[in-house]
Structure 1
Amino acid sequence: ELKMKRNGDIKSFFRNYEAKTRKVAAEEQPEPDIDPPPVHSDAEIGIDIDPPPVYSDAEIDIDIDDEAPRQPSPQHPHGRSYNIQRLPPDPGERIPISDYDVNDQDEVRRRYIAKNAVQPYAHNFEVKKMYGKNRHFNFVWFENYKWLEYSVKYEAAFCFVCYLFKGKSNGGPKGDAFVKGGWKNWYKPDALDKHEGGINSIHNKAQEKYNLFVAPQPSIDNIMVRVDKEDLRMYKARLTYSLRCLRFLLNQGLAFRGHDECEESSNRGNFVELLKWLSENDEEVNKLVLNNAPGNCILTSPNIQNQIIECCAVQTTKRIIEDIGDDHYAILADESSDASHKEQLALCIRFVDKSGRGCERFLGVVHVANTTSLSLKDAIQTLLKDHHLTPSQMRGQGYDGASNMKGEINGLKTLIMNESPSAYYIHCFAHQLQLVLIAVAKKNEPCLWFFDHVSYLLNIVGVSCKRHDMLRDVRAQKVLEALEMGEIESGSGLNQEMGLARPGDTRWGSHFKTNMHIVSMYSTILEVLDAIGKDPSQKREWTRIRGVAQAIESFDFVFNLHLMLVILGYTN
């Protein structure tokens, strides 16, 4: 057998030779372009490492709460239906900007910017135990960080400008802390400074986009077209005159537009006609409005009217909210169907202003699908959130006596008190007292007899317009005779025209008003009944008319009339 000197047999020689050949070939062959395996960050694979890594200024620092893990906000899938007119006000419930249609995103931004960041100073912030100490959100941060806002529902802080302008491609996996889920580590306020970061941080880039969006820089074309100061002055004056007319119509509750607003129409609607009247009586106004205004800046179109009306509503509501400030308030609510048979809920706010006076202000009307207590509660809370009023400020609630309102188990007042224990329910005292007085009075036989004959009287006198006119004419003649004889005084608000309206048990002033008019028109009523009783065309009713006339002239009727006038006067 053939042997090698030092390396053993011939087989080992060839094995060594082949190994050297493969090594040389590997050194001469270029390395292929193979991407290294992906390296995942700790946040992507869900591994918590203590201490957390240090990020650059451009990244967002999110600290993990070891004792109480943060609850993420609800995820909104792409393509979810939405309503731009009713955007969710709570930062934790907002749909990501990128999930809106591209054509709607700027409109969504404008609406949120108009409402400003949600900063509920008066909210009772949740207290959490962190590392052995009680911690909670500090409202002073609102002053130091204008972009900071707070979710009352999720008890978490968010960044207003990052939500509006951050975008999906900016930042790493930790860049969404102040947009999704929210920041809750109150024991590390330096995270707010880290979120702002340096000049090129994600937040500052979003802030720059926000500033440009709010006050956009003019384009080259706009810079070249200089607006003359005189044109600007005329435009402001024209807008002022239109606004004055609109405010007058709004204050009086009058309609704005007419059926035909063309220039050939004899009546172009209240707004145009009022502006026309103003121009006819003021030469300065006439130089600027209607036919003397530029064709593209008349400021009378329905769209312009609606925009100015909306601005007036926004400014009025804003002033009401400013008057409330951080003080407590109570709510007054009632629902009713409109002319189109849609159920509408009206909400009023009652509060004490800075002068110590009680004020009631109308806040808004919202459509409700049904009148269940849960639907009404959701509608009220949504309306309050839209105006940045927190339930913790509520100290009272007032409704009618319906079961869905004052029910002890599932009533509206119970549902609200479960969330706001200090919002005590108060039924309308005047309404209650009225119902008690009427119920007690009708249990008394003489009073029941009196109210029955008042009803008979109203059926006779108010059955037709002809008899109403008779009552009005006789009343006017007696007033003239009394004035000539000096028995009554004349003056503003005196001796006005009266009628006999049918009272209602739920209208606490109606019975008193009817009794008062009967006392004032007693002789007139008797004269009208006598005239009707002598009318040959009313033979069928003679017996009933004469019976009512005899009852009215009786002592019992007159006594009960004056007695009920005194008693019902307490609820007037």
Structure 2
Amino acid sequence: MKRNGDIASLFRKHEAKAKKRADLIDEEAQIEEEEPPLVEPHPVPTPVVEATNEEQDAPPEYDADHLQYDPGLRSPIASYDVNEQDAVRRAYILKGPNQCYAHDFPVREIYGKKRHFNFVWFHKYQWLEYSVAKDAGFCMVCYLFGSGTSNFVTDGWRNWNKADALDKHVGGITSAHNKAQEKYNLFVSGGPSIDNVIVKVSNESEIHYKARLTYSLRCLRYLLNQGLAFRGHDESEESSNRGNFIELLKWLAENNKEVDRLVLKNAPGNCILTCSSIQREIIHCCADETTKRIIEELGDDHYAILADECSDLSHKEQLALCVRYIDKLGRVCERFLGVVHVASTTSAALKKAILTLLSDHHLSPSQIRGQGYDGASNMKGKINGLKTLIMKESPSAYYIHCFAHQLQLVLVSVAKGNDDCVWFFTQVSHLLNIVGTSCKRHDMLRDVRAQKIMEALELGEIESGVGLNQEMGLARPGDTRWGSHYKTILHIIGMYPTIHEVLITLGKDPTQRDDWPRIHAVVGAFESFDFVFSAHLMLVILGYTNELCLCLQKRDQDIVNAMSLVTLAKERMQKLRSEGWEEFFQGTVVSFCNKHSIQVPTLDGKYVPHGRSPRFYPDQTNDDHFRREVYIGVIDKISQELNSRFDEVNMELLICMSALNPFNSFASYDAQQVLKLAKFYPKEFSTMDLIRLEMQLGTFIDDMRRDERFKGLETLAELSIKLVETNKHVLYDWVYLLLKLVLILPVATASVERVFSALSVVKSKLRNSMCDKLLNDCLITFIERDVFSQVSEEDIKKNFMSMKTRRVEKK
């Protein structure tokens, strides 16, 4: 028996065959009324299921009460004698159809092979069919609606002497056969509603079912918002802690009598709605509805993609994807779309994962108008990089290297390119290794700082108040987060006397004798002018770049404003180089050294490096070294790196974007630059569209400069929101379209970085075995909780009920 066609066609074929058999039987009954049979039917006893050896040699016997009419003959089989019956059967097999029903063709001997089956089985088991081609019995309902793995479906049943196999195949209530029979009956009857598809229930039962579903949903929504685990280590009723979900549902029941009346122990045994599979299905519905809101908000509009890969706690490489678009209110939005496990990080594998995720959410790659990644070679490669492969799908999907990542590369290049910076960060690492090796030393640091603060408060040197004199620590900075380096250096300078006292105490403590060589070396470096000078210089430079980094990581930051921030950072560096030496050296470094009794070398004296051999340094004065080599050298290096790495500033595309900047009443407006910008998007602006845009621009700029509502706008994002508020985005539709394309271009991949931060919260050490689907669903609801909060319970429950058939309760 082979599977061919769908279930409906097979069922129709089966029904046609049954109707044909019924018509033949009716026709033969009419013939029998007109022509009496030639031979009277022989009354015979009912055959047994299993025959002995003697019975096998005996002539076949038949039960006249259960004997059926053969559809291939014009008179009953019983009208022939025994020998004629065998001949007729052989002739019918040779000339008849390839397959027929056993209860229509009750064969007991075929080609000399004796079969010990009883055709009464085919009345008791209506699902049993006989195949002449394979000489075996098959199950019709399992063939149509089952899994296809049973022997009654694949090879057929031939052990006629083992009739108990029929009952074994039927099995219990939850067997595969009964499930297939249930689907068969449902298909025949047309199917009831989804709420009571298995059993007919009352309206009260439906109300109770949906109430239990609502309470389970509310508990899961709370846990999803907080990124907490659902299941417990032991969820049995004897356990004192059955997991967050059940314990929260128990707490809800204990504080609400209506809830307690319906859930947990008071719910039907098959409808508690607390098992892990139900939890995962509800969570998936929550994530599905949240993503649906995001996709509806995006619509068919253009968008940009932001992607990055990172390994999670279980060492799986995860690719996170975010989309950047303009919503209906003209606001820039960056939303998390999903996370995908990738076995390879090649550009082709990443492209396939991204396009698959976009396709799952019915987003067309041709609508991509921007890409934002880090600077890895598999991302920005000009030949086979991810950006190149995506641009083959959408030529206007322009790539922007993450500004925040480029800023990190600038600082890393400076730190590795200057000997004094390398020595300084090495000493900081040694300091953190000594102070941060044990909780005891951390406590010493806190106690000494608290004591010094109390003394300063008593002397009136500092003031008390809310938010002042907070506890500080020395956290180890991240390798790729130079904003954390700024915080560490700030704490070192702010806690300098505290750290110094703790180091001296440790250097004199006999119990710390094993660490004395390291402690004494760090104390010597800590008290040196080289350390203090480098610490203050790094504090100033990292302080300037830290503000830039924080600005670049804003969700609504536009590319034009980011370019202006980079330009401002360059100007501040140049001003610090040309005018800031005296104030920095005398006002900051020297005053700090005098306060903490650190010897300041004379500027015209010979430079002697602290803790390093002078043979590796040129013969120079302190002024040459500290001012020319370190101070000016580091600032020049940063300026050079800013110019070389932020090459997007010099791109013609981004230069043209500044022509739409509303700052200072559109002072930088240039119609020709705007038209040139529109030519970068040929699919959106044809030749005729460029003419319409040119005609709109003259009216647009005059209107913007005269309208008081547009005074004081500083960024393109503010201009977009104001155009929608005043409904002028409809009047100047071509200008607004170009403005949206500019705002879509990503500035930084901060949204993707936030995904990885949330990943460490959701997939913790106690939840490191989460499947990829559950992880994705939990991340969507946790990261986009503002969208998730707008999803109604009814939408989630409707989605849940439509996933598959639901059993309300047993009768």
1:260 equivalent to 2:234? Answer yes
**Map of 1:329 onto structure 2:** 303
**Map of 2:393 onto structure 1:** 419
Which structure 2 residues correspond to residues 196-235 of structure 1 after superposition, within 5 A? Answer: 217-218=192-193, 225=200, 227-229=202-204, 231-235=205-209
Of 303, 307, 312, the residue aligned with 2:277 is: 303
Residue 485 to residue 304, structure 1, CA distance change in 2 (3 Å): farther
Q: CA deviation at 1:318?
A: 0.6
Residue 569 to residue 218, structure 1, CA distance change in 2 (3 Å): same
Q: Counterpart amino acid of 2:424? A: F
Secondary structure of the 2:242 match is: coil
Distance in 1, matches of 2:257 and 2:508, equals 63
Please tell me whether the aligned partners of residues 246 and 309 of structure 1 are also in contact (alpha carbons under 8 angstroms).
Answer: yes
Q: CA deviation at 1:298?
A: 1.9
Which structure 2 residues correspond to residues 461-540 of structure 1 after superposition, within 5 A? Answer: 461-478=435-452, 487-491=462-466, 496-540=470-514
1:440 equivalent to 2:426? Answer no
Distance in 2, matches of 1:236 and 1:494, equals 52
Of 287, 290, 315, the residue aligned with 2:289 is: 315
Q: Counterpart amino acid of 1:517? A: H
Please tell me whether the aligned partners of residues 431 and 508 of structure 1 are also in contact (alpha carbons under 8 angstroms).
Answer: no
Q: Counterpart amino acid of 2:262? A: L
Q: CA deviation at 1:559?
A: 3.4
Which structure 2 residues correspond to residues 62-73 of structure 1 after superposition, within 5 A? Answer: none
Distance in 2, matches of 1:540 and 1:369, equals 46
1:246 equivalent to 2:197? Answer no
Which structure 2 residues correspond to residues 89-100 of structure 1 after superposition, within 5 A? Answer: none
Secondary structure of the 2:521 match is: helix
Please tell me whether the aligned partners of residues 434 and 505 of structure 1 are also in contact (alpha carbons under 8 angstroms).
Answer: no
Q: CA deviation at 1:309?
A: 0.5
Q: Counterpart amino acid of 2:269? A: G
1:560 equivalent to 2:572? Answer no
Of 213, 237, 243, the residue aligned with 1:269 is: 243
Q: CA deviation at 1:512?
A: 1.1
Q: CA deviation at 1:479?
A: 5.1
Distance in 2, matches of 1:534 and 1:270, equals 50
Distance in 1, matches of 2:144 and 2:406, equals 52
Residue 495 to residue 251, structure 1, CA distance change in 2 (3 Å): farther
Secondary structure of the 2:395 match is: coil
How big is each residue's C-alpha offset from its partner over 1:145-176, in whole Å with a ceiling of 9 and x where there is no partner? xxxxxxxxxxxxxxxxxxxxxxxxxxxxxxxx
**Map of 2:323 onto structure 1:** 349
Q: CA deviation at 1:442?
A: 3.6
**Map of 1:288 onto structure 2:** 262
Residue 299 to residue 533, structure 1, CA distance change in 2 (3 Å): same
Of 386, 403, 410, the residue aligned with 2:360 is: 386
Distance in 1, matches of 2:463 and 2:486, equals 23
How big is each residue's C-alpha offset from its partner over 1:356-389, in whole Å with a ceiling of 9 and x where there is no partner? 3332222112222311111111111010011011
Structure 2, unpaired ranges of 5+: 1-142, 149-186, 547-811
Higher deviation after alignment, 553-562 or 404-413: 553-562
Q: Going by fraction, where is helix more abundant, 1 or 2?
A: 2
Please tell me whether the aligned partners of residues 438 and 505 of structure 1 are also in contact (alpha carbons under 8 angstroms).
Answer: no
Q: Counterpart amino acid of 1:263? A: E
Q: CA deviation at 1:502?
A: 2.6
Secondary structure of the 2:482 match is: coil
Please tell me whether the aligned partners of residues 303 and 368 of structure 2 are also in contact (alpha carbons under 8 angstroms).
Answer: yes
Q: Counterpart amino acid of 1:247? A: R
Distance in 1, matches of 2:524 and 2:293, equals 59
Please tell me whether the aligned partners of residues 435 and 505 of structure 1 are also in contact (alpha carbons under 8 angstroms).
Answer: no
Q: CA deviation at 1:407?
A: 0.9
Q: CA deviation at 1:568?
A: 1.1
Which structure 2 residues correspond to residues 134-153 of structure 1 after superposition, within 5 A? Answer: none
| Structure showing greater relative contact order (alpha-carbon pairs closer than 8 Å, 6 or more residues apart) | 2
1:545 equivalent to 2:524? Answer no
**Map of 1:366 onto structure 2:** 340
Residue 477 to residue 271, structure 1, CA distance change in 2 (3 Å): farther
Secondary structure of the 1:254 match is: coil
How big is each residue's C-alpha offset from its partner over 1:62-120, in whole Å with a ceiling of 9 and x where there is no partner? xxxxxxxxxxxxxxxxxxxxxxxxxxxxxxxxxxxxxx996589xxxxxxxxxxxxxxx
Distance in 2, matches of 1:533 and 1:393, equals 65
Distance in 2, matches of 1:455 and 1:569, equals 20
**Map of 1:89 onto structure 2:** none
Residue 495 to residue 324, structure 1, CA distance change in 2 (3 Å): farther
Q: CA deviation at 1:533?
A: 0.9
Q: CA deviation at 1:509?
A: 1.6
Please tell me whether the aligned partners of residues 191 and 197 of structure 2 are also in contact (alpha carbons under 8 angstroms).
Answer: no
Q: Counterpart amino acid of 1:469? A: D
Over 6 Å off, 4+ runs: 221-224, 483-486
Residue 222 to residue 361, structure 1, CA distance change in 2 (3 Å): closer
Distance in 1, matches of 2:267 and 2:469, equals 49
How big is each residue's C-alpha offset from its partner over 1:196-228, in whole Å with a ceiling of 9 and x where there is no partner? xxxxxxxxxxxxxxxx99x95449x97994523
Distance in 1, matches of 2:456 and 2:210, equals 56
Distance in 2, matches of 1:481 and 1:235, equals 66
Q: CA deviation at 1:394?
A: 0.9
- Please give the TM-score of this superposition, normalised by the length of structure 2: 0.42
Please tell me whether the aligned partners of residues 430 and 508 of structure 1 are also in contact (alpha carbons under 8 angstroms).
Answer: no
Secondary structure of the 2:362 match is: coil
Please tell me whether the aligned partners of residues 430 and 571 of structure 1 are also in contact (alpha carbons under 8 angstroms).
Answer: no
Please tell me whether the aligned partners of residues 435 and 442 of structure 2 are also in contact (alpha carbons under 8 angstroms).
Answer: yes
Please tell me whether the aligned partners of residues 322 and 334 of structure 2 are also in contact (alpha carbons under 8 angstroms).
Answer: yes
Q: CA deviation at 1:285?
A: 2.9
Distance in 1, matches of 2:433 and 2:193, equals 73
Q: Counterpart amino acid of 1:319? A: R
Over the matched positions of the two proteins, sequence identity in percent amounts to 72
Q: CA deviation at 1:472?
A: 3.5
CA RMSD of aligned residues (A): 3.1
Residue 369 to residue 497, structure 1, CA distance change in 2 (3 Å): same
Q: Counterpart amino acid of 2:296? A: E
Q: Counterpart amino acid of 1:277? A: W
Residue 526 to residue 357, structure 1, CA distance change in 2 (3 Å): farther
Q: CA deviation at 1:528?
A: 1.4
Q: Counterpart amino acid of 2:202? A: V
Please tell me whether the aligned partners of residues 219 and 249 of structure 2 are also in contact (alpha carbons under 8 angstroms).
Answer: yes
Distance in 2, matches of 1:557 and 1:495, equals 25
Distance in 1, matches of 2:197 and 2:433, equals 73
Distance in 2, matches of 1:224 and 1:455, equals 69
Secondary structure of the 2:202 match is: coil
Q: CA deviation at 1:325?
A: 1.2
Structure 1, unpaired ranges of 5+: 1-99, 106-211
**Map of 2:369 onto structure 1:** 395
Please tell me whether the aligned partners of residues 411 and 482 of structure 2 are also in contact (alpha carbons under 8 angstroms).
Answer: no
Secondary structure of the 1:433 match is: helix
Secondary structure of the 1:345 match is: strand
